[in-house]
Amino acid sequence: MLSLRDIFLRLTIAAVLGAIIGIERDLRRRPAGMRTSLFVCMATALFTILSGEIARLFGDTGSTRIASNIVQGIGFLGAGAILKEAGGRVGMTTAATIFVEAAIGMAAGGGLFAVATYSTALVLFGLVCLGWVAQRFDLKYRPMAFRVTTSHAESVATEVQRLLNELKAPMQHFRVSMAGGKSIVEFESVVSHSQQEKIVSQLNRQGVITEVMPVEGSRE
């Protein structure tokens, strides 16, 4: 049987490691921030501890039975993080972070502190360092919605199609409408930050206003 000191130590380490990951999520204004991450790690650590302790208490040989169901349960929480935004199209990084937080909590709950700490460091490396690399080298593509207001829609529509073909960016939901005597050209495309800036800079001029916004639920 584990002593109360050992149990408290394992829960505390799990909670601290979860909170550290959650701080990064909060700084990026993503779902599953510090409190959620802390709770995920601490809960899985507690389940892991209880799995072993209850098995010893009742002489059950299946000491991993409770812990084995954590993977299934955490899957529902991850799916909720994805579906919360926009019908399952986004939130994969948040869901993956929740999943690995559960594994870190289980490691801490099992007393594998070095493994839990090293895993936390790898998670932060992936979220911070690789995130910076993707941004620095323009590797990240996001679905963006473009809205062009003009008085001559035909020439702008042709220019939009030509520009996207040059950038090899897919175009979706292309439509032209009228509002208050102005023509509005709207479309969506999955583009990098540099492609987005190029589209805006080439379309914007006197008499043409280009607005850009993320497609709903396109955050990680």
pLDDT tens digits, residue range 152-201?
877 888 899 999 999 999 998 999 988 877 899 999 999 988 899 999 99
Lowest mean pLDDT among 18-22, 69-73, 191-195: 69-73
pLDDT tens digits, residue range 100-129?
999 999 999 999 999 999 999 999 999 999
The count of other CB atoms within 10 Å of the CB of residue 213 is 10
Lowest mean pLDDT among 27-36, 37-46, 74-83, 94-103: 74-83
- Domain segments of the chain as ranges: 4-136, 142-214
State the architecture of 142-214 in CATH terms: 2-Layer Sandwich (3.30)
Q: Is the dihedral of CA 122, 127, 129, 130 positive or negative?
A: positive
Give the 3-state secondary structure of residue 31. coil
State the pTM of this model.
Answer: 0.74
Angle between helices 70-86 and 34-58 (to 10 degrees): 160
In contact, 25 and 37? CB cutoff 8 Å: yes
What is the token pair recorded at 179?
Answer: 């509002």
